[in-house]
Amino acid sequence: MAIPLRATSTPSTESPRWTMGLVVSSDCTRVSAALVSARGRGLDLQAEVGEGVIVQVPRETTALWRQWTDIGTSPRAVHRLMESAGRPDRSFPKDSPAAADPGEILAAIGTLRAQLAEVEASAVLALLQEAGVPPDRILALGVCDPGLWGFNAAPRDSYLGLCDAARLAESTGMNVIDAFPARDLAAGGQGGPTGALAEWTLFGHAERNRLLLDLGRTARITFLGAAPAERGPSRLLSFEAGPGTCLIDLLAQRLTNGEQAFDPGGRLAVQGQRLGPLLEHWLADPYFRRSIPRWHPRGVPPDRFLFDALQMAVQAGWSIRDLLCTATHFVAESVAQAAARDLPSDAPIHELVITGGGQQNGMLLRELGVLFPNVPLIRTAELGVDGDALGPARAAILAFFHIDQVPAGLPEVTGCEVARVLGRLTPGSPQSWQRLLSAIHGARPTVRPLRSAV
């Protein structure tokens, strides 16, 4: 059932518009889809998140993605691919896909993108059937995926999206808006987080400052400054706070010899004790001295934190349960530390809104309650957005922003030089394209409210 998310502006009397969001998970194992209907335009968008589905990605496609994951995060991969003159790069191991001829590399990436387009198209069809919404109601598909990234490549970082937009548009007949990080990178930004303004649309409040905490593999916080919807957010910040559930999961797997992929409810962590020296060592990591904007498409790698913990544990005789308990404290304290250091000192947090897998960890939520005293903890589901639907809902709203010419790439969030409308538009069928042109014709560039947003 669709649930209205914000009532901070005068309800619009115009007919609702519809978009659909699609998100490929960071490990390329599933595609999540959700419908979003909205009244109003631009920053005055009043969104309702409707039905959602999750479609599993075939194992062979996931395997192909994993084959490229390390390469896609290396400084050389995408940049090399873009600059290659047809010579194999033998600086990689011979059995590495990066050592293949560039033509073979392009063919492999093309296969991956084509296979993902088939999964995305099946998710679109499944959601339309489940929701009973006719295809001609959908103005556009907004698509987000992990992409292939090349870092420190001259003149700046490179990004190659995994969405085969032409194939997806051809198979569904729908307009496709994707590649949101690309324009931000071109404008001098870090490529993300691109969904902060969409999160304000979903969870912003006219009178209360909210802190949205995504307890995923990396902990990310988004400060949603109080403001009436028609004015845009008074203050909007979004950045990574530190390692999230990934560190806890790795320790839980080690404790249970791989029998448990995570610590259910924090029940393993409560059996250990907080190790002060380890916690201080973790919090002293140079990562936490980095200024905002602070974001990476692959999140905060937990490897060095895990390695240091295991090395210190051997020397001090600590148990895995103690490490797990301390890691849970660490996630909570790194969030509190980031909030205290990087958020506006004159804007108190009135509500802490929680999403991500970590919201199921009772011990973690308890520690957050201690570190944020007198601040109510609210799950996004209580505000109308189930955790699985948040990602595709963001993508759907980014599509609305593209249609309404609202810049979602903001200097305060991504570090770009100037605010830009994000996304690349690929037309669907002629009928779908004409409907979208009519919708765009009715939109006006959002200039005045944007000054409030940045």
Which tens digits make up the pLDDT trace of 194-251?
999 999 999 999 999 999 999 999 999 999 999 876 666 779 999 999 999 999 999 9
At 420 the pLDDT is 97
- How many C-beta atoms surround the C-beta of residue 258 within 10 A? 9
At 77 the pLDDT is 43
Query: Which has the closest alpha carbon to 249: 271, 216, 273?
Result: 216
Q: Is the pLDDT of residue 87 over 80?
A: no
| Residues 197, 406 contacting (CB under 8 angstroms) | yes
59-72 and 102-131 are packed helices; what angle lies between their axes, rounded to 10 degrees? 130
Give the position of tokens 């307890």.
215
Mean pLDDT for all residues in the chain: 87
Hey, what amino acid is at 151? F
Helices (H), 34-153: 59-72, 77-83, 102-131
At 254 the pLDDT is 86
- pLDDT band with cut points at 50, 70 and 90 for residue 62: very high
pTM: 0.88
The token duo for 57 is 């990605």
Q: Is the pLDDT of residue 421 over 80?
A: yes
Domains in the chain (CATH in brackets) are 3-178+424-453 (3.30.420), 196-383 (3.30.420.40)
Q: Is the dihedral of CA 92, 96, 102, 106 positive or negative?
A: negative
At 15 the pLDDT is 86
Q: Is the dihedral of CA 410, 414, 415, 417 positive or negative?
A: negative
- pLDDT band with cut points at 50, 70 and 90 for residue 80: very low
At 293 the pLDDT is 94
- How many C-beta atoms surround the C-beta of residue 373 within 10 A? 6
The token duo for 45 is 């968008």
Distance CA 390, CA 396 (A): 10
At 452 the pLDDT is 40
| Residues 117, 168 contacting (CB under 8 angstroms) | yes
The token duo for 190 is 């870090």
Q: Which residues contact 448 (CB under 8 A, 6 or more apart)?
A: none
At 442 the pLDDT is 63
